[in-house]
Amino acid sequence: MTTPAIVVVGAGPVGLTAALTLARRGIPVTVLEQGDELATESRASTFHPPTLELLRDLGVLDTLLHKGVVASTFQYRDRGGGEIATLDLAVLSQDTPFPFRVQCEQSKLTPILLDALDTADVRFGCRVNGLRHTDDSVVLSTGTGPIHADWVIGADGAHSAVRHGLGVDFDGSTYPERFLVASVEEDLARALPGIAPINYLFDPDEWLVLLRTPHHWRVLLPTPADTDDEYELRRLPQRLAAVADLGRPWNTAHASLYRVHQRVAGRFRHGRVLLAGDAAHLNNPLGGLGMNSGIHDAVQFATALADVLGGAPDERLDEVAAHRRTVAVDHVQRTSHDNWNRLRGADGSGREQLRALAADPAAARAYLRRACLLDSLGPRP
């Protein structure tokens, strides 16, 4: 029997998770990454309980836990006042062996995944420029020549060459403001007593997110869409001082501005090509759902593909593709957009609902199952 040629495009957390899932099933895989090395940007930094379960099953969780910060609570606060509600993930202890989030930049996960892939064929500096289907394969056009594959998993991010090569619509919208993310070298727990490792601060004019990571606190601020980047970065010290006045400028390690989109591909399967992660769907980062749902895409697609290669009906891939798109639209995008609306809420209804949740363990459990993506997985493939 001929060994199938499986190609994963993209060596981010989604692509490498897909590759490792296939490798654990004994299926050789080739990973193509346009960069010369793994990306080092902070990007996503929250790992939810079901993602921790999947990484455990792949044998890489212990190393991630050693590098990350365990966050068992997260908090909603008023920007100009104090705590609204603190939610404790311990209420999920009957649902998961990991009733907590892990705060750790995705750039710390990807080397762990790459090491676990061991002798897999991972090719850096290999840009995919296009693709075409033949009767029984996919031909990828790269800078070093064509590559023939029996199956392709496109996990090459928001500007996916695989998605563009398929000519797939990527419908959706763009948020009216940009997001400014700053990584700061400050002890915000001392500057803002009582905060949790993860904090969402309500304000109709300038909501705020504060997240603990292993070596920094990350501050996320909404920023007008039509101003100059350099101007916004120059006034960042003033905006940070309004969060907490330290009597001196904050020590900022890195800051960047980016536009935020809610978009989804019309289908996640196109013949022998599967789209996963940001290549298939984009959403705002409020709630930390993007990378997590992308990792779930990767595991479920790769597991289904391994099943099909082992003799399962081809329709298995259609079922998973349909399920993952439903999750992207009805769960991930809806939840992240609701989070954005809640932070901007000027009335007190959202605050009272959250206080009631924190006081009711059963209601908190139902809310957190959705917020942490436990309800999105469906039956395990």
pLDDT tens column, 69-79: 999 999 999 88
Residue 304 domain flag = yes
Average pLDDT over residues 138-163: 95
Cα–Cα distance for residue pair 166/349, rounded to 1 Å: 45
C-alpha 76: how far from chain center? 21
pLDDT attached to residue 205: 82
Average pLDDT over residues 269-295: 95
DSSP 8-state class, residue 224:
E
Tokens in use for 43?
């990007």
Range of the domain at 268: 6-173+262-376
pLDDT attached to residue 1: 39
Q: Are 131 and 163 in contact (CB under 8 A)?
A: no
Q: What does the H/E/C string look like for 19-51?
A: HHHHHHCCCCEEEEECCCCCCCCCCCCEECHHH
pLDDT attached to residue 310: 95
Residue 374 half-sphere exposure, CB side, CA atoms within 13 Å?
22
- Domain count for the chain, please give it: 1
pLDDT attached to residue 377: 83
Rg of the chain on CA atoms, in Å: 21
Average pLDDT over residues 22-45: 92
Residue 23 half-sphere exposure, CB side, CA atoms within 13 Å?
23
pLDDT attached to residue 312: 97
Residue 336 domain flag = yes
| pLDDT band, very low/low/confident/very high, at 167 (cuts 50, 70, 90) | very high
Q: Domain of 164: which CATH number?
A: 3.50.50.60
Per-residue pLDDT reduced to its tens digit, 48-99: 999 999 999 999 999 999 999 999 999 999 887 789 999 999 999 999 999 9
Residue 321 half-sphere exposure, CB side, CA atoms within 13 Å?
20
Q: Are 157 and 213 in contact (CB under 8 A)?
A: no
Residue 228 domain flag = no
Tokens in use for 22?
């296939």
| pLDDT band, very low/low/confident/very high, at 233 (cuts 50, 70, 90) | very high
Tokens in use for 132?
């075409």
Q: Looking only at Cα atoms, what is the longest distance across the chain?
A: 70
- Number of CB atoms found within 10 A of residue 123's CB: 15
Residue 235 domain flag = no
Residue 240 domain flag = no
Pick the more confident residue, 95 or 353: 95
- The structure tokens 């892990």 sit at 102
Residue 217 domain flag = no
Residue 159 domain flag = yes
Task: Give per-residue burial for 154-193: e unless 16+ CB within 10 Å, then b.
Answer: bbbbeebbbbbbbebebeeeeeebbbbbbbbebebeeebe
Cα–Cα distance for residue pair 182/285, rounded to 1 Å: 14
Query: In a 3-state reduction of DSSP, which class is residue 208?
Result: strand
Residue 162 domain flag = yes
pLDDT attached to residue 369: 94
